[in-house]
Amino acid sequence: MKFVEEVVVDEFLPTFRSMLAEALRERGLTQSEVAELLGISQSAVSKYVHGEVERNDRLLSDRRLRELVERLAEGLASGEMSPVQALVEAEVFVRRLEQGDLLAQLHEAEMPGLAEYGDDRFAIHDPESTVRAAEQVLASLRRGVRILENTDDFPELVPAVGSNLVECLPEAEGIEDVAAVPGRILDLEGTTAVPGDPEFGVSEHVASVLLAARAGGSDARAALNVRYDPEIVETLTDAGYTAVAFDAERDLTEAVADALAESPDADVLYQTGGFGVEPIVYVLGADGPTAARAVREL
């Protein structure tokens, strides 16, 4: 795990400071004067000027950085720019390079996993970014899956089509915004078989039910499907959950919307089957662990 700030410290600062130190020395400033302006030691200035520090070639060749260095060096050497103003100009430049620009690209090379988030990977400092929200969903699902794996009788609740635990992003619009276990959670000779780590866009069925429930007014962020049995529905109802049935042979979104119109607070949806359709119970929850704990009560 490497922070983008480490890229700034390891790659940008040595390159930038050495370029600026050289530019200031070219304008007649002594090592002592350069050290004072940059807030570093004279020995550090000597290393920068004599090329004794490793510099990043991509940064060295960046026209914008060269122009910034020349502008700062001219302003500092002439006294028209204070060290504080130079610092502000440099900070603004760094922040710009972190947002989808050169520093972000260097960071992505160190952390290839960011690439899967597309343009959103560049908003890594944004607390509301998709990257953060997505990773929180995946972490939540892992906790939920562990609950299921540690529930001894869960395999008995797995339907013939398999189970899945899904959780969506706060503003989910489609299946790609819903994370789930790839494949399905299966009953493998009495044990809970989880084929892989949660991913986005790998569940069509349970994800579609969750999205339909949200479209129908539910604020649930997660869902877990188990086999249908009247006793299962009754047990959940006795435990304080609100269950409502929907027609499996109708359009899913419309059927779930009608069911939720009848019972807006429902946190258990179920259908009793149809032509070629296995009856299933869907437990909704605020997140993956909540839905998993609800099923564990069974």
Q: What is the pLDDT of residues 126-151, one digit of tens each?
A: 445 566 788 889 999 999 999 999 99
Q: Does residue 101 lie in a domain region? A: yes
- What is the per-residue pLDDT for 48? 83
Q: Does residue 121 lie in a domain region? A: no
- The answer on 288 and 143 residing in a single domain is yes
- What is the per-residue pLDDT for 151? 94
Q: What share of the chain is helix, strand, coil (3-state, %, to 5)?
A: 55, 15, 35
**Sign (positive/negative) of CA torsion 95, 97, 98, 101?**
positive
- The answer on 185 and 287 residing in a single domain is yes
Residue 221, pLDDT > 70, answer yes
- The answer on 160 and 76 residing in a single domain is no
Residue 39, pLDDT > 70, answer yes
Mean of the per-residue pLDDT values for the chain?
89
Query: Residue 97 burial (CB < 10 Å; 0-12/13-18/19+)?
Result: buried
Q: Does residue 120 lie in a domain region? A: no
Residue 178, pLDDT > 60, answer yes
Q: Does residue 125 lie in a domain region? A: no
Q: Over 72-93, what HEC string results?
A: HHHHHHHCCCCHHHHHHHHHHH
H helix runs in the chain, sequence order: 4-7, 13-26, 31-38, 42-49, 57-60, 63-78, 83-98, 102-110, 130-149, 205-215, 230-238, 252-262, 288-296
Q: Does residue 119 lie in a domain region? A: no
The mean pLDDT of 225-237, rounded to a whole number, is 96
Q: What is the pLDDT of residues 198-209, one digit of tens each?
A: 999 999 999 999
Residue 120, pLDDT > 70, answer no
- The answer on 197 and 72 residing in a single domain is no
- The answer on 188 and 93 residing in a single domain is no
Q: Does residue 81 lie in a domain region? A: yes
- The answer on 168 and 216 residing in a single domain is yes
Q: How many domains does the chain have?
A: 2
- The answer on 277 and 136 residing in a single domain is yes
- The answer on 152 and 108 residing in a single domain is no
Global pTM reads 0.64
Instruction: Point out the domain boundary residue: 54, 79, 114.
Output: 114
Q: Does residue 148 lie in a domain region? A: yes
Non-local (6+) Cβ contacts of 112 within 8 A are none
- The answer on 161 and 54 residing in a single domain is no
Domain extent, residue 53, equals 4-114
Residue 216, pLDDT > 90, answer yes
The mean pLDDT of 56-69, rounded to a whole number, is 92
Q: Does residue 124 lie in a domain region? A: no
- The answer on 276 and 184 residing in a single domain is yes
CATH number at residue 275: 3.40.225.10
Instruction: Point out the domain boundary residue: 114, 144, 175.
Output: 114
- The answer on 252 and 165 residing in a single domain is yes
Instruction: Point out the domain boundary residue: 50, 84, 114.
Output: 114
Phi then psi for residue 256, to 5 deg, are -70, -40
Task: Specify whether the CB–CB gap between 258 and 241 falls below 8 A.
Answer: no
Strand-pairing partners, residue 187, are 192
- The answer on 196 and 84 residing in a single domain is no
The mean pLDDT of 256-263, rounded to a whole number, is 96
Query: Residue 240 burial (CB < 10 Å; 0-12/13-18/19+)?
Result: exposed
In the chain, what is the greatest distance between 2 CA atoms, to the nearest angstrom?
Answer: 88
